[in-house]
Structures are given as structure tokens and as C-alpha cells.
Amino acid sequence: MPLAGRNHAGGMAMRLRVARKRLSDVDRAAATSDAARSRNDRLFVVLPGVVAAVAASICGAAIVGARPAGPEVRERVLAPLDSFRRSARVPVPADNPMTRARVELGKALFFDPRLSGSGAIACATCHQPALGWQDGLARAVGHHGAVLPRRTPTILDVAWAEPLFWDGRADTLEEQAKGPLSAPQEMDMPPGQAAATVQSIAGYRKAFAAAYPGEPITVETMARAIATFERTIVSGIAPFDRWLAGDRDAISPAARRGFALFNSPRTNCSSCHSGWRFTDDGFHDIGLPGTDPGRAKIMPDVPVLDHAFKTPTLRNIAERGPYMHDGSMPTLDAAIDHYARGFIRRPSLAPEMKAFTLSPGEKADLIAFLQSLSSRDPRVTAPIPYR
């Protein structure tokens, strides 16, 4: 299970051990994460809905007498099945415990466009629940229609996803929540003005008193509330999860064959898309064209991080196109073609990137597996704004 202990440069360090054994680079990368890692002592919150869904899935499989799940094609596996079993425990920082009052306050802030300089953009403008907590665009659109250089990443299962942003520049959700608020091209709201706006609204004053009694209304406290709400955004039980729990008929034979391909040395997909969220939370150069340095802008002394971007989760991936950090792949079909043979070869290219060939049927199987990662999540609607 991905935990805070493997966050920050942890996923990257694992990547570096493979990448040309540049041990001096690994040491530098690890040193940058020591301070951040020490801040991340975690508590855990169990989400009752997830537990109930898992239990229902397992019990249902037992009732129908389902056989144990497993790959049905002759492919050597990279990772054991158990490594893909999801967790029902949400990591929560000890200095920002989750409470109902904080979740409700964070949700109100998340959907409130009054926190932007234009009064028209909220966090939910780019992270829309109906679009997989993204915006469906190749590039994000910010303040006054500015087109940003990267695609909006999903915040689905973001509680496990630290460090954050495509380049990992935010160590925690609390830190990430502050970034877009004041960024000139995004929400363009100076921190002091954001706090003053919230302070001027009676409903917010009451909500903050309940959520963070005795604490002032500041951008830091606002970010803590938003982060608390974002930790509740957890993907539901997908057909793949039911299959792992023992319901053999939860996914199609094509999806089972596709998973075997995905988890084989032949495609090498699960080398980076690992664990129950199908991400190692590391940073990899996957050979996309362009001049964006990615993680190297944050850690310029680590050569293998040039053009490296964070491995995205594959949960609900079929509904979250277009793909890649720059939105350059319109479909899953195009994304698979890139990994198979379309990548640029350069010194920083991740060693996990190896060309492969799939028949049309095998590609269809792989897409069927990716579609089996989609869950029917509860509908999330915007709250009534505080007055």
C-alpha cells in the first residue's frame, strides 16, 4: 500500500536505483526528502463505505462460490496479485485530523469561486467530479482563459498521492492546496485577500469556529480544510477489485487476459503503474516530445529526472482522457501505441520503457482491463455557498 513513508523522492529513489546506478544522484535526491518525510507521521481513517463495499464484494463472492481469481494466459507476472488489493484506510496527518466539520468546510471552500481573483474559478472548475475530478481538457485553463502548459491531474485517491503536482513540487496536500489559489495564471488570489474574503462571510466564520476552534482564518487554515475534504475523494470498488476478491465473473475474459499482459515483463506496465492505485508515485521520463523539464525543474542536479513526470493513477482511467501530462494522447489506444513504440529515446529515458508489439486483439484485451478499473462512485454536488 502506498504510504507517506514512500512519498516525496521515495518513489523517485526506487526509480533511480534502476536508472544506470547513479548512486550519487540517489543520495542527493534522498537528502532533499528527509525533512519532508519527518513531517509525515500518519494517522489512518477508515472509510465505512469502502469497508462495506469490500465486505459486500467478498461476501458476495463467497455466496456464489466464486473461484480464486488469477491470470488466465501464459504470461510471467511482475507483481503478485496481493499487491493490487486496495486499502480501506486513508492516511491522515497527525497535525490535521479528519472531522466532519473540517470536511464540510473544505468542500465549501473547494467549490467556492469567490476564492479567485476573477470570482469565476474554484478548485472544482478544474477538478470536476463528473469528469473524474479533472476537466476533460488537454491543457488546463486558468485566470482569464489562460491556457496552462499541463493537463489538470485528477485528485481521485489523492490522500495517498504525495508528493503532488506533475513535478512533485508540493510535499503535502496542505501545501498543494495553497499553490493554485495565489498562482497568477490559475486562481490569482493573493493570500491576504483570500483570507479577508472568507473572513467577511458570516457562514465561513461560523464554519471555521466549528472546524478549527481558536485558530484564525488564514490561507494555511483554509488549505488544511481543503486538504481534509480532498482526502475523502476515494475511488469506489471497481469490477477489478471484485475479481481480486474472488468473483471470477466480475470482469470479462478479455480483461483478465489484458491484466496478464499489463502485469508481464512483455509490456512492463506494472513496473511503474503498481499497487492498488496503479502508480508508484515516482517520476519517469516516458519519452514524450517537448521542452518541459518536469521534475528536473525541482531537482536540476538529477539528470535522469529531465522530462520526468509523476506516474498517474489508473483508477477510472477510461473516463479521464485525454492522457499524459500534456494531454497529447486523446485515447487509451493512442497511449498504448506510445508506450509500445512511439517514445523518444534520450539519455533520461526511463529504463522501464521498452518497445513491445501487440496484436489488435491483445490491445483490445489491455483496454478491457483498463476499463475494469472504473468504479461507479457516489455523485458529488456543490454545496450551497456560505453567506
**Strand-pair category, 283-284 with 42-46:** unpaired
Catalytic member of 162, 186, 352, 362: 186
- DSSP 3-state percent helix, strand, coil across the chain (nearest 5): 45, 5, 50
Q: Please name the residue that has the C-alpha cell 504525495.
A: 162
- Asked whether 353 and 286 are in contact (CB, 8 A), the reply is yes
Residues 264, 269, 271, 275, CA torsion sign:
negative
The angle at the Cα of 171, spanning 167 to 173, to the nearest 5 degrees, equals: 105
Within 214-297, where are the H helices?
Answer: 219-230, 239-244, 253-262
Active site residue 186: yes
Q: Which residues contact 128 (CB under 8 A, 6 or more apart)?
A: 134, 135, 136
In terms of phi and psi (left: phi > 0; alpha: psi -120 to 50; beta: otherwise), the region of 331 is beta
Which SS3 state, helix, strand or coil, does residue 147 take? Answer: strand
Q: Which amino acid is at 190?
A: P
C-alpha cell at 271: 513496473
**H-helix or E-strand spanning residue 21:** none
Whole-number Å distance between alpha carbons of 345 and 61: 46
- Asked whether 66 and 246 are in contact (CB, 8 A), the reply is yes
Q: Which amino acid is at 235?
A: S
Rounded to 5 degrees, φ, ψ at 222 are -60, -45
Whole-number Å distance between alpha carbons of 253 and 176: 40
Residues belonging to the active site = 186
